[in-house]
Amino acid sequence: MKKLNYQLKNLCDRNRDGSHGTRSERHQILQAIANQLMTLGYRRMEASSLKPKHVEALVAHYQQEGLTSGTIKNRMSVLRWWAEKINKSNVICKDNAFYGIADRVFVTNSSKACELDKAMLARITSPSIKIALELQKAFGLRREEAIKFSPEYADQGSHIRLKSTWCKGGKAREIPIRTDEQCELLVRAQALAGKGSLIPDHMKYVQQLRIYESETAKAGLSKMHGLRHRYAQERYLQLTGWASPTCGGPNSQNLTTQERKQDALARLAISQELGHERKSITAVYLGT
């Protein structure tokens, strides 16, 4: 276990305020934060060395990832808990607006999906970044999952499998291969990566992440998390036969009993494919 991870674990063990569930969630978030700080280049941190620059780097990373304001605020609460326990509460501003964190947005039936514009995609000069973006579109992958993607490992014929080390929360998962477009993309990814991943052998993830950010910014591509919304909406249409509420389809109140069963099964499948534990999270992508 890395030094910061170990020290944050001990901090949680010594400060057992809150319910068991709260303590467990706090510990998991702090471990993820320690890993993210390592990825962002802060390799010699200790629990007592938390500074404003670390908070700002984390917030910028979360916003680039496209996390909801609610999720970011939850993580800020945990960061404030950490700062309080090391008597450094002043390193984090009390007002989330200081960091550009928007007010929590509740579920609406408006679509947040985005398309992968071909003209903009053509501006990407890195072949591996271009493939990663196409993987995000075709399989609804998160950015990190797409960047770390290893086609030889992932492609299982009927589905792709994602390693736990690629995925948020360390939760490995499988996603079905359904279309010719997906198959053709996997062939191109394999030809590019060979036996490795989409990260060139001489580079680390954080270096490739910076290239991704630079390339997408120059190409005018932003909010690529919207590709996951697009994937979810397309899967919903395929699984149910009607559009999701975010795409103008009927809301749950207008579904028959049988249709509600189909809706529930579709949402569960989509939740699993996107790497979420709760079916209810699909409301963010599909509406209600």
Give tens-digit pLDDT for 54-108.
Answer: 999 999 999 888 888 888 999 999 999 999 999 999 999 988 888 888 765 556 6
> What percent of the chain stands above pLDDT 90?
75
Please give the pLDDT value at position 255.
94
Helix 52-65, helix 69-85: angle, nearest 10: 160
Please give the pLDDT value at position 264.
95
How many helices, marked H, and strands, marked E, lie in the chain?
13, 2
> What percent of the chain stands above pLDDT 70?
98
Please give the pLDDT value at position 38.
93
Please give the pLDDT value at position 212.
94
Is residue 252 classed as helix, strand or coil in its secondary structure? helix
Q: Do you know the residue count of the chain?
A: 288
Mean per-residue pLDDT of the chain: 92
- Whether residue 160 is predicted with pLDDT greater than 70 in this model: the reply is yes
Residues 70, 284: Cα–Cα separation, whole Å:
12
Please give the pLDDT value at position 134.
98
Please give the pLDDT value at position 103.
64
- Lowest-pLDDT range of 97-106, 126-135, 201-210: 97-106
Q: What is the dihedral of CA 115, 116, 119, 123, to 10 degrees?
A: 140
What is the DSSP annotation of 89-114? GGGS-S-GGGGTPPPPPPP-SS----
Residues 112, 245: Cα–Cα separation, whole Å:
12
Residues 83, 86: Cα–Cα separation, whole Å:
5
